[in-house]
Amino acid sequence: MIDSALQLLLDFDARVQREASQSAEFLHRRDRRFALTCTERDVPVDARAWLDHLDRLSGDGARASRGVQVARQWRRIAAGFGIAGGLFGVITMLGLLVYEGGQRINVTVLMAFVLLQLLLALLTTLQASLGWQPWRPLLARFQKQLPTRVLRQMQPLLMARAAHLGGLCFSVAALITLLVALVIQDLAFGWSTTLSAAPTGFTRLTASLAWPWRGLWPAAVPDLSLVEATRFYRTGAGMSDVPPSRWGDWWPFIMMLWLTYVVLPRGILLAVAQGHIVLRARRALHAHPGWRALQYRMETPTLDTGNGHNDAEDTPGEFHGAAPRLLPQASVVVYWGGVAADSLPAATRERVRLTCSAGGRATLESDRQTLQQIADTLSDSNGRDNDVLLVTRGWEPPTGELQDFLEAAQSLWPSRARLTVVPVSHDSAVPVPKHQLTQWLRLQERFPAGFVSVALIDPFPANAAESEPDA
């Protein structure tokens, strides 16, 4: 795809902006793990693989990314320039070839117009190289949101590509119009100028312009006899002495002049503009601050000391100010990652209205359906039973998949919903160790206060002694 480099740059910039609120420790652990996995599988570690990995975790692969949206927008802009250029090319060539039989189509005017088109093509490339944006007021009307800093840097190149595409359609449509007019009309060409120009000087000028195709098509190079015979004056004197066939001998030169100095430069500069976009996008990606930070996270080993908020003289903090709560009664229970359904006490499962599973081997689409089913259940409760229990393995650290699941729940569920994470241990009679509980309390602090909390199952219920046999 010709816009792959641009899409990669914009997707990477959008992902970096989205993750600006994440903690540095979480990003470091996640990206370091990704780099190690790629190394084990002998997969190249690049920006595209990193973005695909995060899309699989967050489930964003089904919707169009920021890069795809911008590429589609600029394809529409380029298509508009192409259609407009084609229409103007037909109209312009018909205007240049106006012939009513009483005058001649001035070759001098056609040569000047060709020179103008060549200068416009070079000016378009120059403004892209200098970063000049003469089309900014026009773009502001079509853009629904303000462009980012990265997109503002790429806009001059994108606009230059659209302008070159419009110029190429203009020149091709004009050339086709010229060929059609030559077939259906008997056009008479000549040359004239107010300045005193000798036929020999005009012949040298046309011979210089015809140098690129001199060996390919000698008939398209005007000679001195054609130049002398087809010069006309404002009074029209001497026109009757010229054979009628000589007035039409200019068409090979006109066609090759237009093809060489209008069509080919536009096509070449369009290819240069496309290559310039790819080169600039790759350079911008490698110079992006987020790319440098990502490389550091992937190349540097992680060490979680739990001392992220303490001074160097203090001992490492374990709970970061958070503490587990009592296990509430909930109407919805989610078993995460294949946790057994009997992990909760029987008394807690009595009031459960909805039991479902998520994570682990479940697909992203299944997780999304689970979130929607829970949202419907909470909406039907009319403000009652707003607690949701998520039972997970306490000895496994919180994964990025779980955090994405919780973030999606926060945006999809009613605002009154409260989610309680219940980590369980291997043995229901043994509480979750303190060092394992710490990682779940850190997960709680990543979300707004009140939405996510951590609760523990009491391994020694009050009636435990009654179930024991007598001594």
Per-residue pLDDT of the chain (471 residues; tens, 9 = 90+): 456 888 888 888 888 888 877 788 888 888 888 888 888 888 888 888 888 888 887 665 556 677 788 888 888 889 999 999 999 999 999 998 886 555 678 888 999 999 999 999 999 999 888 877 777 776 666 666 667 788 888 888 999 999 999 999 999 999 999 999 988 887 888 888 777 667 888 888 889 999 999 888 888 888 888 888 888 765 454 444 556 667 778 889 999 999 999 999 999 999 999 999 999 999 999 888 888 888 888 888 865 555 544 444 444 444 455 678 788 888 889 998 888 877 888 777 777 888 899 888 888 788 888 998 888 888 887 666 788 999 998 888 888 788 888 888 888 888 888 889 988 887 766 778 887 888 888 888 878 777 888 888 875 444 433 333 433
Domain boundary among 268, 284, 300: 284
- Domain residue limits at 423: 332-459
Are 264 and 351 found together in one domain?
A: no
Number of domains in the chain: 2
Are 241 and 345 found together in one domain?
A: no
d(CA 110, CA 357): 75
Secondary structure element (H or E) that encloses residue 28, with its range: helix 24-40
DSSP 191: B
Burial (0-12, 13-18, 19+ Cβ within 10 Å), 226: buried
Secondary structure element (H or E) that encloses residue 96, with its range: helix 66-96
Residue 432's nearest CA partner among 470, 386, 396, 469 is 396
Are 405 and 260 found together in one domain?
A: no
The CA-to-CA distance between both ends of the chain, in Å, stands at 79
Q: Cβ(273)–Cβ(125) under 8 Å?
A: yes
Position 43 in a domain: no
Are 275 and 153 found together in one domain?
A: yes
Domain boundary among 284, 303, 323: 284
d(CA 36, CA 299): 9
For residue 111, what pLDDT is reported? 92
DSSP 215: T
Are 139 and 257 found together in one domain?
A: yes
How many CB atoms neighbour CB 415 within 10 A? Answer: 7
CB neighbours of 392 closer than 8 A, spacing ≥ 6? 336, 337, 339, 359, 402, 421, 422, 423, 424
323: alpha, beta or left, given left = phi > 0 and alpha = psi -120 to 50? beta
Are 127 and 276 found together in one domain?
A: yes
Are 236 and 337 found together in one domain?
A: no
Position 417 in a domain: yes
Position 234 in a domain: yes
pTM score over 0.75:
no
* DSSP letters for 224-275: HHHHHHTB--TT-TTGGGS-GGGGGTTHHHHHHHHIIIIIHHHHHHHHHHHH
| 264-286 helix and 4-18 helix, angle to the nearest 10 degrees | 30
Are 354 and 274 found together in one domain?
A: no
Are 222 and 345 found together in one domain?
A: no
Are 352 and 438 found together in one domain?
A: yes
Domain boundary among 253, 284, 315: 284
Residue 162's nearest CA partner among 255, 270, 244, 257 is 270
Burial 72-110 (b: 16+ CB within 10 A, else e): eebeebbeebbeebbebbbebbeebbeeeeeebbbbbeb
Position 294 in a domain: no
Are 278 and 363 found together in one domain?
A: no
Are 256 and 393 found together in one domain?
A: no
**What phi, psi does 313 have (nearest 5°)?**
-80, -15
Secondary structure element (H or E) that encloses residue 422, with its range: strand 418-424
Position 350 in a domain: yes
d(CA 192, CA 430): 104
